[in-house]
Structures are given as C-alpha cells and as structure tokens.
Amino acid sequence: MSDAKIRLYVEHPLGQGQSVPLSREQAHYLFGVMRQGIGAQVLLFNSRDGEWRATVTEAGKRGGTLVCAEQTRALQMPPDLWLLFAPIKKARTDFIVEKAAEMGVRRIVPVQTEFTNAGRIQQSRLQAHAIEAAEQCGGTYVPEVADMVRLDRALAELGRRQIMFCDEAMVGASPILHGTAGPWAILIGPEGGFSERERKRLVGLDSAHAVSLGPRILRADTAAVAALTLWQTHLGDWR
C-alpha cells in the first residue's frame, strides 16, 4: 500500500464512500507519470470538504475513479486576505501566484495599473499554478485567480476591505503595519511603480495603509513574498 503522498485537487464533492472521477490530465499524471494503478492511495481536497484519503478503483488512459475512505484533515481556510498585484514577466508572475498560494491567501487579483507592461494574462494557466502549489504544500484550499482588472475597478470591488498598500515611496521607513483584524488586501505595484495619480488616490482612501518594505526597493515578486510574510506575522495565521 502506498502511503498516500500524492495530493490532487478535484472539484467533485468529497465524503465517506464518495466516488470521484478523474480528469484526463489527472489520469495521465497519476497512472502515466506517477505509475500508480488500482488500489493506490491518493489524498484529495476540493477547497470545501477538507482532505480525504481515497483509493483508485478504476485506472484508464483517459480517466479513472477514486473512492474516498476517510477524512485525513479538516478544511483549513487561509485568512481573508487577497493579493492584488500588477503582472510582470511571465515567470515572475507565475512565481507570485505560486508563493501566494503557499503562503495563504483567499484570492489573487492581477491588476492593470498605469505602468503595468504585461498586456494580458492567461487566467487558466495562473489558476493551474495555484492548484499545483496547493497540492504540493499540503493546503486544503486553492485561492481563486481572478481575471485581470484595472486598478480603479479592483479598488471599487474591495469595498471596505483594508488595504496594505506597498508603496515604494515609503522606502527606508520602518515596515509597520497599522490596521485591525478583518478582511484585507495587499497591493503590489509593477516594475515601474505606481503613478502619482494612483498614489494620490490610494493615500486618500480611508481603508488604505501605506507600508514600507524596508530600506531597499524590491522587485515586485520579492515584494509580494515580503508583504505576505509581514501581514501573516502581524494579522494572519502565522501568529
């Protein structure tokens, strides 16, 4: 019996005796790449029902079936934190999505700012990265990756959610995070930084807290990881 180290995200409901169909890609991965077959044990999660140990009952080239045996972990929701970031180069954008999924966020929102140079993103590819990250880090929840929206619209959608506005103009100040527990969003700008108009708009919002990330200007991907660390230690589930 394998010790069920392979973890797969599925959309299907999970529960005692529940059978779960595999997609073509999952069947290829499990039976082709990982050389598993009937009787193999796999851990499944779906962002709702926690993690379940399941056994392969059908294995084919284009699909397969698993049956849930027992719940191995309860659902662990990340804190109500969204990451808003301006997409940069492809590999660095992938990195940001992967790290955000590992470090614990509910939602990832690519935003188009004035100085954002990535014209488009491939939402489905980024979502697949978030799934893969959750599978490998032992998470039971996959953050949703939204389609890219303009900064103005993204801010409107935040409602009263507090914003940790990572402002490169604050470089050199101590990284202090004010604000209270509750729903939050982290905002990271593009390589070109925020425009003066955007900065003015953000500083004028009651819900926004401008924050420094230390004495050096960080690349956006580094800034995302640093900001997530700061937020998680002060207000999140690292405390």
For the packed helices 90-103 and 220-234, what is the interaxial angle rounded to 10 degrees? 10
Does position 231 interact with ligand SAH (CB under 6 A)? The reply is no
Q: Which stretch binds ligand SAH (CB under 6 A): 25-33, 125-133, 138-146, 168-176?
A: 168-176
Does position 214 interact with ligand SAH (CB under 6 A)? The reply is yes
**Cα–chain center distance at 4:** 24
Does position 84 interact with ligand SAH (CB under 6 A)? The reply is no
Does position 21 interact with ligand SAH (CB under 6 A)? The reply is no
Beta bridge partners of 187: 84, 165
* Shortest Å distance, C-beta 148 to ligand SAH: 17
Other beta carbons less than 10 A from residue 88's beta carbon: 22
Does position 223 interact with ligand SAH (CB under 6 A)? The reply is yes
CA dist 128 and 216 (Å) reads: 32
Measured from each CB, the residue nearest to ligand SAH is 189
What are 212's two structure tokens? Answer: 């420094």
What are 22's two structure tokens? Answer: 């595999």
Does position 194 interact with ligand SAH (CB under 6 A)? The reply is yes
Name the residues that contact ligand SAH, by CB under 6 A: 166-168, 170-171, 188-189, 191-194, 212-214, 217-218, 220, 223
